[in-house]
Amino acid sequence: MNKPKFLILAGDGINCENETKLALVNANSDAQIVHINELLENPLMLRAVQGLALPGGFSFGDELGSGQVLSLKIKFKLKDHFEDFIYRGGAVIGICNGFQVLLKLGLLPDFKKERTISLDHNISGKFINKWVTLNKHPATICKWTTLLKDQLINLPIRHGEGRIVLKKNDETVVYNTLLKNGQIVFQYNENVNGAYENIAGICDPTGLILGLMPHPEAYLYEGLNHIHQKDFFKKGKGQLIFDSIVQYLKNS
């Protein structure tokens, strides 16, 4: 494959689509921003692409809950086309609000099983906007992180409802399943928002669907990291997440 093609959702409260497009273009993919209504009206667009990005923001103003309206629109208007896209190996990233959408769609943690993970309000009850240190889990099977050789990565978070919680009374079973399958991708190095075992991002059992609360599209260049600003245009670690999936799709 020469240049994998990606769609990036935009509109109705979604933001960060331009940064996400830049990351995918930098990774040498063919990336197109599309308004959610355009995709709903032309679902065959999914047949022409290999990847889909759901950026962060406040889709539909978080009415009915974070990511709820967008997930319902996708579920009821794109169901067959979306399932076809997933079954033929489409790559998906959901960032922050996009992660919330993926969970409510049931794409994570496993498209073929019951939903066992959700996102709740931060334990502090406050919106958090800061850079955090993440630990890439050494056993992850995620195809979006293969080029991240360093175990630690700094990324910003911007959320009020980003605390990962596991199915009540089954937390240990769900967590051990994630561990066994290599589905835990990132964990906070400290208790940032009260997430179970400090989980910040997970993938599905194929490693092609990634959901995370931190924003990799905000760290495409070293100069954007408030800690390391020596060489502004040196590639940032956030960019490596997008480089990883594009490289994987090219070689598939």
Q: Give the DSSP per-residue string, 155-174.
A: EEEEESS-EEEEPTT-HHHH
Asked if 217 is an active-site residue, the reply is yes
d(CA 175, CA 137): 13
* Cα gap 242→93, rounded to integer Å: 9
**Contact yes or no for 103/119 (Cβ under 8 A):** yes
| CA dist., res. 149 & res. 227, Å (int) | 19
- Residue 48: CB atoms within 10 A of its CB come to 9
The angle that helices 68-77 and 97-105 make with each other, rounded to 10 degrees, is 50
Looking at 17, 161, 215, 222, which residue is catalytic? 215
List b or e across 129-167, with b for residues whose CB sees 16 or more CB atoms inside 10 angstroms.
eeebebbbbeebbbbbbbbbeeeebbbbbbbbbbbbbbe
Catalytic residue, from 17, 161, 217, 222: name it.
217
Instruction: Give me the count of residues in the chain.
Output: 252
Which residue out of 16, 96, 142, 203 is catalytically annotated? Answer: 96
203 is an active site residue: no
Please, what is the Cα angle at 190 between 161 and 13, to 5 degrees? 25
Integer Cα distance of 246 and 29 in angstroms: 7
Give the catalytic positions in this structure: 96, 215, 217
